[in-house]
Amino acid sequence: MTVVASVPPLSPGRYAFFFDLDGTLAEIQPHPDSVLIPDTVKKTLKKLVDYCDGAVALVSGRSMTELDHLSAPLHLPLAGVHGAERRDAAGISHATQFDADLKRRIASALATELQPLKGAHLEKKSAAFALHYRQAPQYEKAIWQIAESLAAIHEEIDLQPGKCVIEVKLKGSDKGTAIDAFMQEAPFIGRIPVFLGDDLTDELGFDAVNRRQGISIKVGDGETRAQRRLEDVSDVWKWLDNTVRQFKEIDAGNPEENRQ
């Protein structure tokens, strides 16, 4: 495992960047609504977007609506709800949706089961339900049992564990499939993918990047299949600064050749 200060010094035209949001670009907060990306970090991201001709995307468990809100005024390519929603660089949206009846039945079952677990929070997304227990860690086991019994009944759904959350989601999309989809499209195609993430859900993204001989970077502690590591969110911000500074130097050295 290598701790990294920036990407290897190649031209920005060689790279495509993918970032998880919570715990990677933004500090985790007790409640997800309090999370924000500092303006200075957004400005640096904007520079990265310009250097890489738009090959910068957010890949998160949040909905695309939330991602747009949190990253405004940037308007980036996005993968939300672990890849179930995606907006490509041309602005076209691709979405996997729950069957309306199935969604209603799952929502009702989860609401009933979680109701007695004080502090547990049910978040409904377009193609997933997030069962949060950050405020009620004593119910972790009970919540797992609820999710597992649902998954045993409905073969269309998959469980995705995260930090103090279990997501009940549709099978077939994850952060890896989202990165693969972007990598088949302009301006990502043909580039070296770089993905930074902090959570279990990011491991499938790391796998996708590793298969493409890209650069996978785990933020924080814990076992991972990523090749490299950054210590925490402030380390990610420094890494981003260094990467943009490096691109600036490369660009200044040979602007024509390096923007290709």
Spell out the residues 6+ positions from residue 145 whose beta carbon is closer than 8 angstroms to its own: none
**Beta carbon of residue 70, minimum distance to Mg ion (angstroms, whole number):** 12
Cβ atoms of residues 72 and 93 within 8 Å: no
Grouping H, G, I as helix, E, B as strand and the rest as coil, residue 1 is: coil
Q: Which residue is nearest to Mg ion (CB)?
A: 23
Residue 88 known to be catalytic: no
CA distance 247 to 115: 51
Question: Which of 210, 224, 223 has the alpha carbon at shortest distance from 176?
Answer: 210
DSSP 8-state secondary structure symbol assigned to residue 202 = G
Q: How many residues bind Mg ion (CB under 5 A)?
A: 5
Distances (CA, A) of 83 to 20, 67, 166: 12, 13, 16
**Beta carbon of residue 77, minimum distance to Mg ion (angstroms, whole number):** 18
**Beta carbon of residue 202, minimum distance to Mg ion (angstroms, whole number):** 7
Residue nearer to Mg ion on the CB measure, 28 or 151: 28
Binding mask 171-200 for Mg ion (x = CB under 5 A): ---------------------------xx-
Q: Interaction with Mg ion in 7-46: which residues (CB under 5 A)? A: 20, 22-23
Residue nearer to Mg ion on the CB measure, 175 or 191: 175
CA distance 87 to 94: 6
Out of 20, 22, 202, 207, which one is annotated catalytic? 20
80 lies in the binding site for Mg ion (CB under 5 A): no
Grouping H, G, I as helix, E, B as strand and the rest as coil, residue 128 is: strand
List the catalytic residues: 20
Residues that bind Mg ion (CB under 5 A): 20, 22-23, 198-199
